[in-house]
Amino acid sequence: MFDFDAMATFVEVVQLGSFSAAAKALRLPRSTLSQRVARLEASLGVRLLERTMARSGLVRRSWCLTS
């Protein structure tokens, strides 16, 4: 079954540019968002985000999910 919460979380992180900003907007702990995105990545079998201390950016192959 598709995890819509995980996909919505991924989209929010992409739109806002960071897990911290998305966590604030969604009023959820950053760790919850990270777990959701990791679950989505595992279910799709690909890494979707490049995680750094400052920002989260799209991996090239994940652009199609947000276009």
| Strands (DSSP E) found in 6-60 | 49-51, 56-58
Give the three-state DSSP class for 11: helix
pLDDT of residue 56: 54
**Contact yes or no for 26/9 (Cβ under 8 A):** yes
What's the pLDDT tens digit per position in 10-66?
Answer: 999 988 988 899 999 999 999 999 999 999 999 999 888 887 655 555 555 454 455
